[in-house]
Structure 1
Amino acid sequence: MDGAADTVKLGIHYLRKNGREGGAIVLTSSLAGYLASAGAPLYSAAKHGVVGLMRALKQETAKLRISIAVVAPAITVTPILSTGYREAGKDPAEYAAAMAEKGVPINRVESIALAACWLFNEGMAANGAGIFVQADRMVDFERSLAKNREVWMGKEMLDLFRGGRQAPLFQRVEGEKSNL
């Protein structure tokens, strides 16, 4: 998390310093950032943290005209995922084929790049987006969660949450010195 937070901090610093109006930051999470992966608890926790970092910063970065969003790929065959196959002298494409044979939806790397480019291109309209990519298809998890907030939080809890939003718990960007 320190690496992700420091990278965002530097990104914000240089986007503000370069004299242009705003900019965009796209973080990489994972399906494991939304649905825990029992076999990889530290990875899941870190990727949940990336989603949480984006959620925590999206309103503050918007004030600076900086969009922040997340790309959350499911299984994507990359060198890190296919290391065991390479060590065994096999082609990563064989790994992907073996996974697909078992019914695992596989992404092409190009689909993840396309999602990131789309987020950059959308500018402020993409602020707070969480693009989940699976089987080379994309959906915005964050927008879906926001639309259904009352369903998963319950009306009473949502009303309580909304009522406490304006509490001055933390320092804001508006005119005050900020760590951003």
Structure 2
Amino acid sequence: MSRLEGKVALVTGAARGQGRAHAVTLAREGAEIVAVDLDRQIDTVPYDTAREQDLQQTVAEVEALDRRIVARTADVRSSEQLAAVVEEGLATFGHIDALVANAGVFSQAPLWEMDEQTWDDVVDVNLKGAWRTMKAVVPHMIERRTGSIVLTSSVNGFRGNPGAAHYAASKHGVLGLMRSAALELGPHRVRVNAVCPGLIDTPMTNWPGLYDRMAGHPGGDRADFERAALHYGILGGVGALPPEVIADAAAWLASDGAWAVTGQAIVVDAGHLELPGFNPAPLQP
């Protein structure tokens, strides 16, 4: 029997990248899926955000595994939209056993040049969106006295990110939210953990501005990204990680095999955090 047989999992940001990997991996492990993503561009995000056709591709991949899925466009910046999706998921499946609050966005600018909308969009999706999603599903888990919540943080939940202070702040915040929620929900037998990815190969990391950053100069390309990615871990020959490795960790956390694990930040980064890092702006002699 698959380790999530009979369970239902809600996944946000499920249209592509890490979110799609979560939905498909959880389905492969036996879970039915409630999938959420938005269907429009966030203006301050410098790469294309998800669209309905991306979400429908997730639906097709889940259904190919002979699992059921409820997929709806919704914005994690809207409590009303999230509540409606949870209500539909409960009406369809009767229960929601696991939440993977994965929705997230990235942008970059020096903090003193960043406008407030850019800051707000990243924090509103990455941190407040995780809280809103938990708020929508937690009362049901408390009522049933069971549940597993997995929040997506990052290695930037432990380290600063020069040029993306808002992103690092949001991911540090996710860990604070996770630890606080684990304390609050533990007495109700609801577990709360976080996965902390390193450099993952998704649409969030494949766009010209990020290529330039990886190359160290304007005009960077995919080859520069792949070459630089080899320096982001300590495992020989391993560059940007596939999103499925994060999904494998989340699936374990959602399973009964992790029944005694709560309040933990599970790092999946090929050893990135063990590296001494780099100085982005060394003083000149």
**TM-score, normalised on structure 1?**
0.64
Distance 1:45 1:99 in 2: 24
Alpha-carbon separation, structure 2, partners of 1:104 and 1:54: 26
- Greater relative contact order (CA < 8 Å, ≥ 6 in sequence): 1
In structure 2, list runs of 5 or more residues that go unmatched. Answer: 1-126, 212-218, 234-239, 274-285
Distance (Å, rounded) in 2 between the aligned partners of 1:4 and 1:118: 20
Deviations 1:73-132 (A, max 9, x none): 0111101110226xx9x7x6x46522235x223222111011111111134312111101
215, 239, 242: which one aligns with 1:108:
242
Would you say 1:99 and 2:228 are equivalent positions? yes
- What's the Cα RMSD here? 2.4
Q: CA deviation at 1:5?
A: 1.1
- Post-superposition CA distance 1:23-63 (Å, at most 9, x none): 10000000001111122100000000000001111121111
**Which stretches in structure 1 are left out of the alignment for 5+ residues?**
140-180
Give yes or no for contact 1:74–1:134 (8 Å, CA) kept in 2: yes
Deviant stretches of 4+, over 4 Å = none
**SS at the partner of 1:67?**
strand
Query: % of aligned pairs identical?
Result: 35
| Contact kept? 2:253, 2:261, Cα under 8 Å | yes
- Which of 120, 123, 129 pairs up with 2:254? 120
CA distance 1:117–1:34, change in 2 (3 Å): same
Q: Which whole-Å CA distance do the structure 2 matches of 1:109 and 1:44 have between them?
A: 20
- Aligned pairs for 1:46-61 within 5 A: 46-61=170-185
| 1:21-100 matches, cutoff 5 A | 21-84=145-208, 94=223, 96-100=225-229
Residue type of the partner of 2:266? I
Contact map agreement 2:197 2:267 (CA 8 A) in 1: yes
The one of 267, 272, 277 equivalent to 1:132 is: 267
CA distance in 1 between counterparts of 2:180 and 2:229 reads 36
